[in-house]
Amino acid sequence: QVQLVESGGGLVQPGGSLRLTCTVSGSGFSNYIMGWYRQGPGKQRDLVATVTSGGSKVYANSVKERFTISRDNAKKMVNLEMNTLKPEDTAVYFCNAREIKSWGSLAYWGQGTQVTVSS
């Protein structure tokens, strides 16, 4: 059973920083593509960033140069360092683990953590 638990959300002023952490239980972490997604009020869930087990990273254009994703395979954790936060970054942030299979992929999700950027 794979479980993902996010932490680190909260209220921050524009220009501030937050660090989100996702801890994964169960086996196979090093095989997963780990990612962060977010869903703003009334919006669809969108990709923020992903990182492969080998360290290759992909970022949404809206967060490039401001957010940094990292992972620790030994601790089975993935982090999202968010800097220069903007009100439009307000959303529920979800941790995602994706396991590639020969027939497709399996996806696991955390429960989400709220990030609110407001003065």
Under 8 Å between Cβ of 51 and 30:
no
pLDDT of 95 strictly over 90? yes
What is the overall mean pLDDT for the chain? Answer: 96
The rounded distance, in Å, linking the Cα atoms of 36 and 20 is: 9
82 pLDDT band, cuts 50/70/90, is very high
CA distances from 85 to 37, 58, 104 (A): 16, 19, 35
CA distances from 25 to 35, 114, 117 (A): 15, 21, 30
pLDDT tens-digit series, residues 32-60: 999 999 999 899 999 999 999 999 999 99
Greatest extent of the chain over all pairs of C-alpha atoms, in Å: 48
pLDDT for residue 28: 86
Under 8 Å between Cβ of 9 and 82:
no
pLDDT of 83 strictly over 90? yes
pLDDT for residue 1: 84
Under 8 Å between Cβ of 115 and 10:
yes
